[in-house]
Amino acid sequence: MGLITGTLPDFPWDTLEPYARIARAHPRGIVDLSVGTPVDATPDLVRAALAAASDAHGYPTTHGTPELRDAVVAWFARRRGVVDLDPEAVLPTIGSKEIVAWLPSLLGLGAGDVVVHPATAYPTYDVGARLAGAAPLPADDIADWDGAVRLVWVNSPGNPDGTVRSVEELRGVVEAARAIGAVVVADECYAELAWEEPWASTGVPSILDPRVTGGDPTGVLALYSLSKQSNLAGYRAAFAAGDPVLVSHLLEIRKHAGMIVPGPVQAAMTAALGDDAHVTAQREVYRRRRAVLLAGLADAGLAVDGSEAGLYLWARPESGSQDCWTTVSDLAEHGILVAPGSFYGSAGREHVRIALTASDERVGEAAARLTGA
């Protein structure tokens, strides 16, 4: 274990604890906007499906039930414009973080291989490359790809900055990766949370959109999680889909390793994917909280960049450049805890990430403090 952990960075959120102590000392309590963990109730129809499947005396199927895979296919066609997905090319995963962390290893990457990820990115892309012994390369421009690139991560909408990639941008990435024999994997877990146009009207494009792939999913995978759209973070409910050959390869490894989504969770996922109403309702809750925070941040002299979609506001002082940790400290003095942009790479060192995942009361309290109330 020491050999593995010695190659990894310290877990970043541990370094926030001193600022959390400051925020907790505020007379009106802490408003924790540092982590994107849902706070609203899991929908009743999902909980009912979980309970109805709770007599799970037999082993679940690693590939997922036919009902679940059909529900994923129908969801992609209905919500993402992907109409030709093969149910055999769907694979449930134990949340999306585990597949992000282990995919380079599962694909057989190692020393000498390069894993490209966004310059401002969720830290697990970097960690997954290191776990496999490969080299992470933060790069937003295809021209900056260097070395033996074997895997390219796309995150759209992006965490932390809420950036959405267009069909044209995605197609450019896929074409460039295919030219060098690299796999492209898009982490799309915030796709149902678009705020700004054109994405709010047209939807966030998927890497599996036929306009991106030319109707051929070879070398392409999409990852999606129900944690955000359905408040299922505690269920660890996600899936991968795309290239049937890649999915078959991952399935065989996961069978051997016992990486299986529990049967009741598969039933809950099936119910969640078949119901759009609860997703629409939850999106409106986040839209309301987002508007409240945006107003408070503007009053406090903080500008928001990007943040076209997703669960976060990517903020910085309007008055000029400032190290993210100074902004974290300033907000902690008001009892508001946020994440420093440096958690997401050196490109984020002047920003902080502010989550929308707090109750209406706590979001209102944060806005009041930002406006001096």
Q: What is the pLDDT of residues 30-71, one digit of tens each?
A: 999 999 899 999 999 999 999 999 999 999 999 999 999 999
Percent of the chain with pLDDT over 70: 97
Q: What number of CA atoms fall less than 13 Å from residue 320's CA on the CB side?
A: 0
Locate tokens 């995978």: which residue? 221
Mean pLDDT of the chain: 94
- Distance from C-alpha of 273 to C-alpha of 75, rounded to nearest angstrom: 6
Q: How do residues 164-206 score in pLDDT, each as one tens digit?
A: 999 999 999 999 999 999 999 999 999 999 999 999 999 999 9
pTM for the whole thing?
0.92
The span from the CA of 209 to the CA of 77, in Å, is 10
**What number is the average pLDDT over the span 264-282?**
97
CB atoms within 10 A of CB 73: 21
Q: Provide the token pair at 359.
A: 């109750």
What domains appear along the chain, each with residue ranges and CATH number?
15-41+278-370 (3.90.1150.10), 45-274 (3.40.640.10)
Given a contact cutoff of 8 angstroms between Cβ atoms, the answer to whether 318 and 301 are in contact is yes
pLDDT band for position 220 (cuts 50, 70, 90): very high
pLDDT category, 82, cuts 50, 70, 90?
very high
Which pLDDT band holds residue 239 (cuts at 50, 70, 90)? very high
pLDDT score recorded for residue 2: 47
Name every residue whose Cβ is closer than 8 Å to that of residue 371 and which is 6 or more positions away in sequence.
295, 296, 299, 300
Judged against a pLDDT cut of 90, whether residue 17 lies above it is answered with yes
Q: Distances from the Cα of 322 to the Cαs of 11, 303, 314, in angstroms?
A: 24, 12, 14
